[in-house]
Amino acid sequence: MHRSGVMMAWNVFKFCTALRGLGSIMILLVLGVVGVSYYAVVITNYGPALAAGGLDTLQALAVLISFHCLLVMLLWSYFSVVFTDPGSVPSSWRPTMDEERGDTDPLTASEFQSDTENRGIRYCRKCNQLKPPRCHHCSICGRCVLKMDHHCVWVVNCVGALNYKYFLLFLLYTFLETSLVALSLLPHFIAFFSDGEIPGTPGTLATTFLAFVLNMAFALSVLGFLIMHISMVAANTTTIEAYEKKATPKWRYDLGRKKNFEQVFGMDKRYWFIPSYSEEDLRRMPALQGLEYPSKPDLSPQEF
C-alpha cells in the first residue's frame, strides 16, 4: 500500500509535460522582475540621488554599486543554469564490477524487480539505456539526467550534476539582490503610508511599491529554498534522493561536510562563488557527475 502511494505521488509529474510550453515565458518573467527592480532602484530613486550631495550621494553610490555587482552575478548564474546541460549519460558508460554485484546503490531496489541477478545495474526503459548511479529520468525533458535534483520551471531546465552549483549560486545571489532592493526601497514604501507629500509621479510611485512587494516576496521564498539546498549539499543528497531514499544509518554518498561541499563547488576556492569550474575540477567531473561510486566512506580530495 505504501509503495503504491509513493508511486502515485511520483507519477503526478507525468502530468507536468505541459511545463515545456512555458519556455521563454518564465525567462521573460524573471527579466521582467529584474527590469521593474532596476527602474525603481536606479532610474527612479537612487540614480537621481547621486546629485544630492553629502551623505545622500554616498548612500546612493553604495546602493548602486552593490545592486549592479549582485545583478551581474545573479544574471550570470541564472543563464548558466538555463544554458548548461545538466548532464547526459555518456553512450560509452558501463557499470563497473562493483556496481554489477548489486550492493551499491541504495535506490535501486524498487527499480529492478525483474532483474534478480544484477539488481545493481540500473536501466531506463524510456531511454533504452543503462543508468549510472544517482541518475534519473526527467518526464518533462524526456531524458535521463545525471545526479538529477529536480526540473525547475524558473530556469526552464533540469538541475543536475553539471549545473547544480550554478543553481545554488542563482539562489544565493537572488536572495542577496532581492533583500538589497527590499531594504533600499523600505523607506519609500513606508512613505506611502505617511501623511507627508511624496515626490514623484503616480507611475514611479506605483513602480516603487510593486518592486518592493515583489522583491520582499522573492527574498522570503528564496531563503527557504536556499536553506533547504544548503542542508542537502551538507549531506550530499539531492531533492529526489531525499524524497525516495529509505532511512539508513549511513548515507553512502555522505563524505563529510567539507568533501560534500567540494563535490558541488569544486576544490578551487577562487571559483566557489562564480558559475564556473577550474581546469583541475573539470578533470574530476566523473565523480562530480555521479558516474562513479565513492570507493570508501573516507574519500580523499585527490579521489574527488
Contacts of residue 276, Cβ cutoff 8 Å, sequence gap at least 6: 80
> What dihedral do alpha carbons 247, 109, 127, 263 form, nearest 10°?
40
For the chain, report the end-to-end CA distance as a whole number of angstroms.
40
Catalytic residue, from 135, 144, 152, 158: name it: 152
The answer to whether the CB of 272 falls within 8 A of the CB of 232 is no
The answer to whether the CB of 141 falls within 8 A of the CB of 124 is no
Chain-centroid distance of CA 20 in Å reads 18
> Cα(292)–Cα(304) distance, rounded to whole angstroms?
10
127 is catalytic: no
The answer to whether the CB of 207 falls within 8 A of the CB of 118 is no
The answer to whether the CB of 251 falls within 8 A of the CB of 245 is yes
Provide the pairing of β-strand 150-152 with 157-159. Answer: antiparallel
Please state, in angstroms and as integers, the Cα–Cα distance from residue 250 to each residue in 205, 237, 245, following that order: 55, 12, 12
H or E segment at 186? helix 164-191
Q: Which residues are known to be catalytic? A: 152
